[in-house]
Amino acid sequence: MPWFGFDPGAAATANGGGQTPQACLPLAERRIGRFDPTGIDASPGRRLRAFAALICVLDGRVVLAPGLHSDRVVISSQPDLNYADLLELVDADCAQPGAHRVFERFPLRIGECKALIQEIPKDAVRSPRDPDLHPALQDLGDEINEDIREALEALDNDSAWFPGIDEGIEPVSDDHVRTVIWALQRELDRELRVAAGSSHMAKPLPAAPLSELPWDVQRALAERRRWRYKQWGLGRDQWLQDAWSLWDIPEDPEYVPRRSVRLGPAESRSYPAFTSYS
């Protein structure tokens, strides 16, 4: 999973395309199964969605999703619960003994190279091995991707309005803006895709040049990125420690990913709309 987003075309068929009754229910009512946050799923709940991405049912028990831990970690022996009820039990430490502690710490960066970059490296070489965000933070990556999408309007429209964040975050220096734009460009470059309808062997389309955006838009994009991380309970300490906790993510029960609202079927838009800066 690229740390800023996912291929909407590939993800549109995830989660069974809403073919089962359970897939049509919001997570608060949906029986535990296997939730794919890369899919187009407008089910609300910021913390609930991250929790759902962390668990699945195997052999009749709810466990931490494969690949997230070297051992099979049992969360509950009640696989017929819905996601919201189990989250409430785990939060109250009333599920499997020690289950609450399991969700206190996960790695923030995933991949072979997890070094913390605080400035643009000299002679940097882009690589598909660059770190990703933890898979359960896919919604965060998608929100940053939506911000990029909105910012790019300024390449074609000089009067495009793309506001930054005036308060609620640490000030963003000019050097940090440049580093963020470089990092976002690195991810865009490694996610190059061919034009719609072309052969997969066709030459990839060039990435949008973020450094050509007006400076105020670049700054706004960097500020929004910092704000998005804060919305998931991620700040300086988490970055330095390379760790995040489910319990630091606000419950925010009305949160719905903007990408799912934008790409989902009309009926999915009956869920509460997402306010960008709430």
Render pLDDT for 219-266 as a digit per residue (tens, 0 to 9).
999 999 999 999 999 999 999 999 999 999 999 999 999 999 999 876
Cβ count near 145 (within 10 Å): 22
Both 76 and 55 in one domain: the answer is yes
Residue 191 domain boundaries: 110-242
Both 231 and 126 in one domain: the answer is yes
Are the beta carbons of 76 and 61 closer than 8 angstroms? yes
Distances (CA, A) of 130 to 112, 140, 197: 7, 18, 28
Render pLDDT for 31-75 as a digit per residue (tens, 0 to 9).
999 999 999 999 999 999 999 999 999 999 999 998 776 678 999
89 or 205, which is more confident = 89
Give the count of domains, the chain. 2
Are the beta carbons of 249 and 91 closer than 8 angstroms? no
Residue 194 covered by a domain:
yes
Both 90 and 143 in one domain: the answer is no
Both 136 and 154 in one domain: the answer is yes
Using alpha carbons only, what angle is made at residue 107 by residues 88 and 10, rounded to the nearest 5 degrees? 85
Q: What is the DSSP string of 87-146?
A: HHHHHTT-SSTTHHHHTT-EESEESS--PPP-SPPTT----TTS-EE-GGGHHHHHHHHH
Lay out the sheet containing 55-58: strands in order across.
55-58, 61-64, 74-76
205: DSSP letter: P
Measure the CA–CA gap between 121 and 126, rounded to whole angstroms: 11
pTM for the full predicted model = 0.83
Render pLDDT for 174-231 as a digit per residue (tens, 0 to 9).
999 999 999 999 889 887 765 566 666 677 778 899 999 999 999 999 999 999 999 9
Helix (H, G, I), strand (E, B) or coil at 243: strand
Residue 277 covered by a domain:
no
Both 100 and 118 in one domain: the answer is no
Q: 136 is written with which tokens?
A: 């359960």
Both 48 and 59 in one domain: the answer is yes
Both 69 and 119 in one domain: the answer is no
Helix (H, G, I), strand (E, B) or coil at 236: helix
